[in-house]
Chains A and B, each alone.
Chain A
Amino acid sequence: MWVLIWNRSERKLTKRADRLISLLPLLALGIALLIWEGAVRWSEIPLFILPPPSVISERLTRALIDGSLLRHTLVTLSEVLAGLALGALIASLLGYGLAKSSTLERVLSPYIVASQSIPIVAVAPLLVIWFGPGQISKVLISALIVFFPVLINTVVGFRTVPSELYDLMRSLRAAKAQIFWKLEVPAAMPVLLGGLKIGATLAVIGAVVGEFVGADRGLGFLINLADGLYDTPLVFVAVITLVAMALSLYGVVATLERRLLAWRTG
């Protein structure tokens, strides 16, 4: 009993310390921005090479007001979400098959590994040629880049289900679907979510790579456009938006993880 109480109060203390420590990165960011601003003004570097944070934030406000930032963000976001969903879906279906069948694994794994040595930037132009400069090619590129980490984690996740628990389920005469939903999915969930977390950030990269190759919309297109116009502050605005998008997606999966895996961390 005492141990319990002591543990709890200690946990509360470490929680408060954790919160303070989590503020430190923000503090560091603030200091870095101040130095940046000061250095640029003092050295009189031209705006199109390195704009100070104040100019970038002003450009951000303008892009928000004229609606262009939101429009391009929504385009990229929809590509990212569709790519993530498509890539994760196919990868987890195939991953489950590979985890369950060593024959399938032996047949497919050399090709899967080989396919990963092709840089995505090299494939992207092909996909744009085949599927056009619209959103479909971006979704596919994004799905491709999401595919591998999700696949690997799915295989590992389902392989690590303890065999004793399979014995238990069999001794209880569980049906195949019951074994899947009540044993395999929850047991593999920690590793599956780990793969999804990596996939979420990669999906953003995939969509932008696609937009770089050929597009008339989206944040990747916006970067290309601003670059051509020497509108460097707008390049920064687009990059910051992409970072924010990747971080939010990561955050969504991390929240999901905390909810679903409360049994691990408590």
Chain B
Amino acid sequence: MTDDSILTANELSMTFPNGNGGLQALDAVTFSAQRNAFVCVVGPSGSGKSTLLRLLGGLLNPTQGEVQFEGERVIGPRRRIGFVFQTANLMPWRTAIENVELPLELEGLNAGQKSRRAEDMLKLVGLADFKQSLPRDLSGGMAQRVAIARALVHEPDLLLLDEPFGSLDALTRERMAFELLKIWQLERVTVLMVTHSIQEAVLMADRVLVLSQRPGSIRLDLDIPLSRPRSLDMMHTPEFGQWVDQVRSAIE
């Protein structure tokens, strides 16, 4: 644990009540993330990846252990943490820009400040021309970009993403991955992203955490010292293959 860690998970355990002794989703998960790092969490399905993210974001409270964000214990959602969910999760009655404005609106910013910030964010995700579109008129990738814009609009220090590209087709998924990397570098935000794609994790992250089968605990903590910016060519290097294999064998 260095001084520059923004997020620390300390012996996190989570058990959900289910009638017969409870379902243990996580078992003593410990790690810390450096400021401005890009961390990916992979693991078999049902390994509690989403639960971990919800604990880190303060949407759930752990049965044991604690989460520290900027040195303070997390006991509920925090302003400096942005969340992107598996589905875009847009409000269908709001236009793209109104969806992006939502976090600022809840904080009571005035209309001018709100729309200026929201417009900047839509520009950042390449959707400036679609600000008046309703979610039903946006493709899956566009909707998820609006969701990312919404998560970044109040300038969080930490962005938590829960399989954000899970519902997208392969090509869109690849493009979105690089767009997210670009945004991450521009916005200087710490990213913790859950994914079930090993290649995606190795391609994007500085560091890959592998969770074990339920109850999830950290099986492998792997640094990916690939240079930035990342490109698709890097996937064909021998090291890349080795890292992927390492992660895969940790999962199995």
B93 & A186 in contact (Cβ 8 Å cutoff): yes
Interface set, chain B 88-124, CB cutoff 8 A to A? 89, 91-94, 102-103, 105-106
Q: Which residues of B contact A126 (CB under 8 A)?
A: none
A228 to B136, CA, bound (A): 58
Q: Which residues of B contact A178 (CB under 8 A)?
A: 106
A173 & B79 in contact (Cβ 8 Å cutoff): yes
A168 & B92 in contact (Cβ 8 Å cutoff): no
B106 & A165 in contact (Cβ 8 Å cutoff): no
A266 to B91, CA, bound (A): 15
A266 to B135, CA, bound (A): 12
Does A174 lie at the interface of the complex (its beta carbon under 8 Å from any beta carbon of B)? yes
A8 to chain B, nearest CB (A): 13
Q: Known contacts A171-B57, A173-B76: does B102 contact A182 (CB below 8 Å)?
A: yes
A164 & B85 in contact (Cβ 8 Å cutoff): yes
Q: Known contacts A164-B87, A170-B59, A172-B77: does B106 contact A182 (CB below 8 Å)?
A: yes
Kindly supply a per-residue 1/0 record for chain A positions 35-51, scoring 1 wherever the CB is within 8 Å of any chain B CB and 0 otherwise: 00000000000000000
Q: Which residues of A contact B78 (CB under 8 A)?
A: 173
A173 & B77 in contact (Cβ 8 Å cutoff): yes
Does B75 lie at the interface of the complex (its beta carbon under 8 Å from any beta carbon of A)? no
B89 & A164 in contact (Cβ 8 Å cutoff): yes
Interface set, chain A 126-185, CB cutoff 8 A to B? 162, 164-165, 167-175, 178, 182-183
B59 & A167 in contact (Cβ 8 Å cutoff): yes
Q: Which residues of A contact B92 (CB under 8 A)?
A: 263-264
Main secondary structure of the interface of B (DSSP, over half): loop
B48 to chain A, nearest CB (A): 17
Count of B interface residues, CB-CB < 8 Å: 22
B57 & A263 in contact (Cβ 8 Å cutoff): no
A112 to chain B, nearest CB (A): 30
B76 & A168 in contact (Cβ 8 Å cutoff): no
A261 to B92, CA, bound (A): 10
Q: Which residues of A contact B57 (CB under 8 A)?
A: 171
Does B181 lie at the interface of the complex (its beta carbon under 8 Å from any beta carbon of A)? no
Kindly supply a per-residue 1/0 record for chain B positions 74-86, scoring 1 wherever the CB is within 8 Å of any chain A CB and 0 otherwise: 0011110101010
Q: Which residues of B contact A263 (CB under 8 A)?
A: 92-94, 134, 136
Q: Known contacts A164-B85, A164-B89, A186-B93: does B106 contact A171 (CB below 8 Å)?
A: no
Q: Known contacts A171-B59, A173-B106: does B134 contact A165 (CB below 8 Å)?
A: no
A168 & B85 in contact (Cβ 8 Å cutoff): yes
A210 to B162, CA, bound (A): 58
Q: Which residues of B contact A171 (CB under 8 A)?
A: 57-59, 77, 81, 83
Which residue in B87, B94, B106, B134 is a CB contact (below 8 Å) of A172?
Answer: B106
Residues on A facing B (Cβ under 8 Å): 162, 164-165, 167-175, 178, 182-183, 186-187, 189, 261, 263-264, 266
5 further A-B contacts with Cβ under 8 Å, apart from A167-B89, A171-B58, are: A167-B59, A168-B85, A168-B89, A174-B106, A182-B106
